[in-house]
């Protein structure tokens, strides 16, 4: 039987009447179909109505998606966002407790972009709200143009921590990634370790050490180029192996 892979949704307004929808990009669904070998299950952003116990008991793995919205600063004692900054409190209200439950139970977790930021905040870390406003950081934000090759293409390199999980998966101590984010890790949460770092010092990949399961976060978007990029494909494949191992009662930790 195929595993059930939860994919976190955002609250987005669609249509001429701006009706609220629960949405996740098709890129995550395709990666789940093709590389993880699971059945994608969209997890709605229904905040306090989310039944975390039901979800965590039935899902075999969880993918936390990227989003234009930012994690609410009240969750990490940060300053109020600047006017116009998109937030999604209903998503935060679902994903934060879901992350904590997944880490505690050992349900494999792959956190991508906003998902990495949620992962860090859920375990007690904090965020920079706009890396491009900091004097010692580069602009990590999305190029606002329609050409997908430019918008989602490789933007900068990362230094992969030698001997880390990502080092073993990538087979390299330096990789190139896309870059589509404003927020970034400020204080790394207890129980998380850095797996890769950008040239300006921004932590771009993390791993939980206090969990019996696979719990990895990446700041870039491997779902955009997994069909062409070997490292992106390897990340999803490793997540899939962890899901399969847990279903068989074996260790699924990303050591």
53 tagged catalytic: no
Single out the residue of 177, 178, 175 nearest to residue 152, CA to CA.
Answer: 178
Which residue did the predictor score with more confidence, 113 or 153?
113
Q: How far apart are CA 89 and CA 218, in angstroms?
A: 22
Count of residues for the chain? 255
Nearest to 94 by CA among 131, 122, 132: 122
CATH number reported for the structural domain that contains residue 10 in this entry:
3.40.50.880
**113 contacts 219 by C-beta, under 8 angstroms:** yes
Q: Is residue 52 part of a domain?
A: yes
* Catalytic choice (9, 10, 113, 140): 113
Residue 252 within a domain:
no
Is pTM beyond 0.85 here?
Answer: yes
Q: Is the pLDDT of residue 124 over 80?
A: yes
The answer to whether position 209 is within a domain reads yes
Q: Does 223 qualify as catalytic in the annotation?
A: yes
* Residue 83, in any domain of the structure: yes
Q: What is the Cα Rg of the chain in Å?
A: 17
| pLDDT 10s digits, 176-228 | 999 888 899 999 999 999 999 999 999 999 999 989 999 999 999 999 999 99
Average pLDDT of the chain, as a whole number: 93
Number of structural domains found in the chain = 1
Tell me, yes or no, whether 165 lies in a domain: no
Residue 3, pLDDT above cutoff 80: yes
224 belongs to a structural domain: yes
For residue 253, being part of any structural domain is answered with no
Which residue has better confidence, 15 or 172? 172
pLDDT of residue 138: 81
Residue 175 lies in a domain: no
Q: Are 144 and 94 in contact (CB under 8 A)?
A: no
Q: How many whole angstroms separate alpha carbon 244 and alpha carbon 215?
A: 14
195 catalytically annotated: no
Residue 226's domain comprises 4-132+181-247
Which CA distances in Å does 187 have to 66, 103, 133, 175?
Answer: 20, 19, 17, 24
Helices (H), the chain: 26-31, 52-58, 89-105, 114-122, 148-151, 165-170, 230-247
What does 38-65 look like in DSSP terms, one character per residue?
-EEEEE---GGG--HHHHHHH-SEEEEP
Q: Distance (Å, rounded) from C-alpha 96 to C-alpha 121? A: 8
How many Å apart are CA 106 and CA 14, to the nearest integer?
Answer: 35
Q: Considering the candidates 128, 140, 181, 221, report the single residue annotated as catalytic.
A: 221
- Tell me how far apart the alpha carbons of residues 255 and 251 are, in angstroms, rounded to a whole number: 10
pLDDT at 151 over 80: no
- Confidence class for position 146, pLDDT limits 50, 70, 90: low
């Amino acid at each position: 039987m195929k595993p059930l892979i939860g994919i976190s949704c955002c609250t987005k307004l669609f249509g001429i009447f701006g009706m609220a929808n629960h949405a996740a990009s098709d890129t995550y669904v395709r990666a789940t179909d093709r590389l993880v070998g699971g059945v994608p299950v969209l997890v709605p952003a229904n905040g306090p109505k989310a039944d975390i116990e039901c979800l965590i008991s039935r899902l075999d793995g969880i993918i936390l998606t990227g989003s234009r919205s930012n994690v609410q600063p009240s969750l990490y004692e940060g300053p109020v966002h600047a006017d116009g900054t998109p937030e999604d409190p209903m998503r935060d209200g679902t994903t934060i407790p879901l992350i904590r439950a997944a880490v505690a139970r050992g349900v494999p977790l792959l956190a991508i972009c906003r998902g990495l930021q949620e992962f860090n905040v859920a375990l007690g870390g904090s965020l920079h709200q706009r890396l491009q406003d900091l004097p010692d950081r580069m602009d990590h934000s999305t190029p606002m143009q329609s050409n997908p090759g430019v918008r989602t293409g490789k933007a900068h390199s990362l230094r992969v921590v030698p001997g880390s999980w990502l080092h073993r998966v990538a087979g390299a101590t330096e990789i190139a990634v896309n870059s589509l984010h404003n927020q970034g890790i400020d204080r790394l949460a207890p129980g998380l370790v850095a797996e890769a770092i950008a040239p300006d010092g921004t932590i771009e990949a993390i791993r939980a050490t206090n969990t019996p399961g696979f719990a990895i976060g990446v700041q870039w978007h491997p779902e955009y180029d997994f069909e062409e990029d070997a490292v992106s494909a390897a990340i999803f494949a490793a997540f899939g192996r962890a899901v399969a191992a847990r279903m068989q009662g074996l260790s699924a930790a990303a050591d």
